[in-house]
Amino acid sequence: MKMRNIGQSLAATALLALCGVQLSAAEIPAAAPKAYPEGELGRMVKLGEAIMNETDTHPLTKEYVGNKLKCKNCHLQGSDGKPGTAPGIATWIGTATAFPAYSKREKSVQTLQDRSNNCFMRSMNGKRIPVDSEASVAMATYITWLSTGMPIKQNTKMPCSPMNSDRWMGGAKHFARIQKKATHANYVNGHKLYEAKCASCHGKNGEGMGTFPPLWGKDKSGQWLAYNTGAGMSKLNKGAAWVKSNMPLGQGGTLSDQESADIMLYVDAQPRASFDLQKRLPPKCEMGIYNSKVLKEKHSVRSNFKQFGLDVDKIRGDHKIK
């Protein structure tokens, strides 16, 4: 318990790192509980953990995934090797304490399973997984276990961990101010930085390599590889906040704000699947099946740039994006 408290206050200190103060993620201890629960509960925690590590190939989830990603690719493994325990932005430490939580996007109170399904539709470019399926319950069981011993702190503003809340809100505002000023020169700089600092793992064309996940584009068979335009990562400001905190792998916090902004200006200007909420929902979806008061939402690379007052053609210097 003591160790976890120390971890929490250090992680809170790291929130400051986002807007200037440098503190390496590796210095902050954050970890899952030492032991799994007994019996059937323990089995479900382990199943959830396995799914987070192999989402696009796991037999219980692969048909719901529309790209080559796994949950742990963005909810990174901490020093204990468990998905979602890394202390950077998008950690799952503390997440379960915030739920059920209010979400502005859905204009409804969301459960942890609802929230995970939103990552299935957007970050995983896939479909919602039934909330009474073993896989959905197992993922929620695993995420809940990570908050063992932490006090409930339901979130009235956004469906996320108290560890992430200020970081997303502050980071999004901060990077929006930077991105709104972007020009073609920032894109060119982002391209250069991408090749110097990212391409060795993610590939020159964002296609990924081995265990290094893809960032954009399609494979040879025409299947999309990465997150779609409805995902948090595809928003220029949120993507930059995540990258600043977590990348290059093991060196989170080393890029400057402008570098993070320019790199994601480049990455998010590359081709990726468009998001149309209605096409992602089960047929005849109603409240109760899809817990949301908002049933229409559409995004493309072009509209994601427009949101910041940017014309993607001018930013790229060509007309290659639909």
Among 11, 28, 198, 273, binds ligand HEC (CB under 6 A): 198
The nearest distance, CB 194 to ligand HEC, in angstroms, is: 6
Tokens of 177: 């101010």
Q: How far apart are CA 307 and CA 315, in angstroms?
A: 14
Residue 236 binds to ligand HEC (criterion: CB under 6 A):
no
Q: Which residues are CB-contacts of 312 (< 8 A; sequence separation ≥ 6)? A: 269, 301, 302, 305, 306, 321
Among 23, 120, 147, 191, binds ligand HEC (CB under 6 A): 120
Query: Which sign, positive or negative, has the C-alpha torsion 84, 71, 82, 243?
Result: negative
Among 28, 124, 150, 312, binds ligand HEC (CB under 6 A): 124
Residue keyed to tokens 């068979």: 221
Residue 215 binds to ligand HEC (criterion: CB under 6 A):
yes
Residue 292 binds to ligand HEC (criterion: CB under 6 A):
no
The nearest distance, CB 26 to ligand HEC, in angstroms, is: 14
Residue 131 binds to ligand HEC (criterion: CB under 6 A):
no
- 201 or 321: CB nearest ligand HEC: 201
- 239 or 312: CB nearest ligand HEC: 239
Residues in 138-197 that interact with ligand HEC by CB under 6 A: 139, 143, 159-161, 164, 168, 197
Give how far the C-alpha of residue 37 lies from the chain's centroid of Cα atoms, to the nearest Å.
27
User: Cα separations (Å) of 216 from 66, 94, 138, 287, 303?
Assistant: 13, 30, 29, 32, 17
The nearest distance, CB 77 to ligand HEC, in angstroms, is: 5
Q: Which residues are CB-contacts of 216 (< 8 A; sequence separation ≥ 6)? A: 205, 206, 225, 226, 267, 270, 271, 272
Residue 14 binds to ligand HEC (criterion: CB under 6 A):
no
The span of 4-12, 16-24, 39-47, 69-77 binding ligand HEC (CB under 6 A) equals 69-77
The nearest distance, CB 23 to ligand HEC, in angstroms, is: 18
The nearest distance, CB 175 to ligand HEC, in angstroms, is: 13
Q: Are strands 298-299 and 275-276 parallel, antiparallel or unpaired?
A: antiparallel
The nearest distance, CB 130 to ligand HEC, in angstroms, is: 14
Q: How far apart are CA 280 and CA 179, in angstroms?
A: 29
Q: How far apart are CA 274 and CA 99, in angstroms?
A: 29
Residue 48 binds to ligand HEC (criterion: CB under 6 A):
no
3-state SS assignment for residue 2:
helix
Residue 316 binds to ligand HEC (criterion: CB under 6 A):
no
- 117 or 300: CB nearest ligand HEC: 117
Residue 136 binds to ligand HEC (criterion: CB under 6 A):
no
Among 30, 44, 243, 301, binds ligand HEC (CB under 6 A): 243
Among 28, 44, 72, 237, binds ligand HEC (CB under 6 A): 72
Q: Is 135 in contact with 129 (CB distance < 8 Å)?
A: yes
Q: 58-65 — which CB contacts under 8 Å span 24+ positions?
A: 58/135, 60/133, 60/134, 60/135, 60/138, 61/129, 61/135, 64/120, 64/124, 64/126, 64/127, 64/128, 64/129, 65/120, 65/124, 65/125, 65/126
- The footprint of ligand HEC (CB under 6 A) covers 55, 69, 71-77, 90, 95, 112, 115-116, 119-120, 123-124, 139, 143, 159-161, 164, 168, 197-198, 200-202, 211-215, 226-227, 231-233, 238, 242-243, 247-249, 263, 267
